[in-house]
């Protein structure tokens, strides 16, 4: 019994004094994975973005970088969660202008079906210029309904179900459905 009490006391000591809590480790991991310009330009306050969203580490990799809007600078996409509702989505931050675009997380994306993207479990940068349309998709820019892109897009998916592209249309981000 003496040994169990000692083990319990040591465990409590380690947890309280050495930050074995998931929040500290998660926050340090997230901060170390993000480019310094997000902090230097006051875009992020800790892990808080625009006072209502928190950077979320639910996806791997933690961020994606590409020139999503075609201005010649690498932009960044990060998974976020709306603090008030718990709804999740993405923020794309334009490097050149520091503009923050909220996609999901309580904000519906143009042509999208939901303001919560909690179903998304895969994401990557898409650099394909011609992207085939999904069943019933009619928002493409090509003759056959396909989406013709000048810039990289954010490909989002639900495992074994499918997904689509989030792309810059010159004014805002829009969703292009590719499956079903």
Per-residue pLDDT at 24: 63
Q: Is 117 exposed, middle or buried (0-12, 13-18, 19+ CB in 10 A)?
A: buried
Cα–Cα distance for residue pair 76/66, rounded to 1 Å? 7
Confidence of residue 11 (pLDDT cuts 50, 70, 90): very low
Task: Report the pLDDT value the prediction gives residue 17, as an integer from 0 to 100.
Answer: 41
**Residue 167's Cα: distance from chain center in Å?**
13
Domain range annotation of the chain: 50-177
- Which region among 38-42, 48-52, 131-135 has the lowest average model confidence (pLDDT)? 131-135
Please tell me the predicted confidence (pLDDT) of residue 13. 45
CB 35 within 8 A of CB 76: yes
- pTM to 2 decimals? 0.83
């Amino acid at each position: 019994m003496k040994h169990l009490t000692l083990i319990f006391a040591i465990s409590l000591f380690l947890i309280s004094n050495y930050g074995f809590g998931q929040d500290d480790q998660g926050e340090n991991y997230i901060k170390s994975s993000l480019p310094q310009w997000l902090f230097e330009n006051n875009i992020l306050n800790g892990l808080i973005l625009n006072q209502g969203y928190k950077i979320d580490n639910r996806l791997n990799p933690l961020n994606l970088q590409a020139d999503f809007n075609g201005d010649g600078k690498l932009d960044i996409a990060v998974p976020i969660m709306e603090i008030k509702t718990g709804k999740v989505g993405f923020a794309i931050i334009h490097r050149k202008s520091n503009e923050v675009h909220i996609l999901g997380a309580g904000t519906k994306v143009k042509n999208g079906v939901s303001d919560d993207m909690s179903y998304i479990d895969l994401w990557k940068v898409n650099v394909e210029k011609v992207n085939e349309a999904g069943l019933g998709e009619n928002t493409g820019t090509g003759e056959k309904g396909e989406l013709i892109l000048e810039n990289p897009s954010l490909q989002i998916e639900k495992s074994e179900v499918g997904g689509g592209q989030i792309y810059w249309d010159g004014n805002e981000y829009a969703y292009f459905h590719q499956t079903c």
